[in-house]
Amino acid sequence: MINPHEIKKDFPIFKNNPDLIYLDSTATTLKPQGVVDALTEYYEDYSASVHRGLYPLAARATKGYEDSREKIAAFIGAASAKEVVFTRNTTESLNVLAYTFESLLQEGDEIVTTAMEHHSNFLPWQALAERKGLTLTVLDVTKKGELKNIDEVLKQAISKRTKVVTLAHVSNVTGVVNPIKKIVSRIKAVNPECMVIVDGAQSVPHMPINVIDLGCDFFAFSLHKMLGPTGVGVLWGKKKMLEILPPFLYGGEMVESVTWKKSTYKEVPHRFEAGTPHIAGVIAASKATEYLAGIGMEEALMHEKKLLSYGLSELENAFGSDIVIIGPKDTSSRIGSLAFLFKEHHPHDIAELLGEQGICVRAGRHCAAPLHIALAIQASVRASFYVYSDRKDIDTLIEGLKKVDAMLSK
């Protein structure tokens, strides 16, 4: 079982901010000492470029970078490290797909997404549909924020004209987990050619993931949401799928042969990694996945679910119907991103007043306006948990909310 008090000791931010109540891990997580050290070590000991240099420091940097690819591939159950493309973040991974798919799609083709997407998996496709004259279908959600009648809706939405279905594994607002494996098999049964893209930004950090088992074609996530540094993301794709995509960025490192007339490009994944990458970040990212693997993702998931249950029941005990939970109260189909409304208090006032007490939560639409529109709410407050979160964090949040209420109640 996870002992968050022990885990907290591995995170220097808690030494520097002993009273920190950090409940915004869905936005970005804190970093353990090992990750911070790996960044520093690269810059202090062997900060050379990768893939080119013929001297030992460069070889060490290249080995660190490519070893990290192997480790992260293993962490998500990829068939090979060649299927792991490093990007800046989930947003970039999804944009790479939306831009490279452009040449493969024709006017009249259909794209399907959902109302529970983060903007990073909504706007690139909306813009692509506008540019190319494609039809964008948005699958609706229930009042609890879960996909509506999945089987029936998919039957209606998916046809031979559907070229891309792109959806979140886990909502960054409600924590709702979509049954990806089932959804993929329903889609492929109707149209085996349809590409299925999964935004895994909120799933990989919180549960065991095996991309092969999920059955999707592409899977995107960010390392900074799972203890790693900012500026490192992954685009995983089945090798044969990545191979049909044209390069996205052209330049150094991605090219094989160049002539004045025509050039050829490296094989995947390097074809998609033009320019000097975030070498230190990529190397440190595998320290993050190692740390998580050491805890065990099943354990991490259980810990989070327990905290979520505790949070839901404590909020209800303290405030009854003054708190409205956005999302299902049943924790079996969701994880620990806890969004709520509190009386008539505006979420930004709540977050600011909690912030003044040292409690970090997010307020607003969480880059998920389509969901807020579907649920007819202006904005919400979100408290989210991770491996270092504990009951005291939730208790302090509740005390903080009581103070907010005393301050703002009319």
Q: Which residues bind other proteins (CB under 8 A)?
A: 346, 348-349, 352-353, 356, 364, 378-379, 407-408, 410
Taking the least distance from each CB to other proteins, the nearer of 130 and 352 is 352
DSSP reduced 3-state for 373:
helix
Taking the least distance from each CB to other proteins, the nearer of 106 and 378 is 378
Q: Which two tokens stand for residue 317?
A: 């005990």
> Helix, strand, coil shares of the chain as percentages rounded to 5?
45, 20, 35
Q: State in angstroms the smallest separation of the CB of 400 from other proteins.
A: 13
The residues, any chain, with a CB within 8 Å of residue 362's CB and separated by 6 or more, are 24, 26, 27, 351, 381, 382, 384
The residues, any chain, with a CB within 8 Å of residue 74's CB and separated by 6 or more, are none
What distance in Å separates the CA atoms of residue 342 and residue 323, rounded to the nearest whole number?
5
Q: State in angstroms the smallest separation of the CB of 349 from other proteins.
A: 5
β-partners of residue 218 are 197, 237
Q: State in angstroms the smallest separation of the CB of 206 from other proteins.
A: 28
By C-alpha distance, which of 116, 125, 128 is closest to 153? 116
What distance in Å separates the CA atoms of residue 191 and residue 199, rounded to the nearest whole number?
20
Structural contact between residues 317 and 333, judged by C-beta atoms closer than 8 angstroms: no
Taking the least distance from each CB to other proteins, the nearer of 94 and 353 is 353
Taking the least distance from each CB to other proteins, the nearer of 53 and 364 is 364
Taking the least distance from each CB to other proteins, the nearer of 85 and 339 is 339
Q: State in angstroms the smallest separation of the CB of 202 from other proteins.
A: 22
The residues, any chain, with a CB within 8 Å of residue 25's CB and separated by 6 or more, are 205, 225, 384, 385, 386, 389
Q: State in angstroms the smallest separation of the CB of 370 from other proteins.
A: 14
Taking the least distance from each CB to other proteins, the nearer of 238 and 365 is 365
Q: State in angstroms the smallest separation of the CB of 345 from other proteins.
A: 8
Work out the angle at residue 178's Cα, subtended by the Cα atoms of residues 72 and 124, and round it to the nearest 5 degrees.
70
Taking the least distance from each CB to other proteins, the nearer of 204 and 363 is 363
Annotated catalytic residues are 367
Q: State in angstroms the smallest separation of the CB of 172 from other proteins.
A: 17
Report the chain's terminal Cα–Cα distance, integer Å: 44
DSSP 122-179: THHHHHHHHHHT-EEEEE-B-TTSPBSSHHHHHHHH--TTEEEEEEESB-TTT-BBP-
Residue 219 CB neighbours (<10 A):
28
DSSP reduced 3-state for 174:
coil
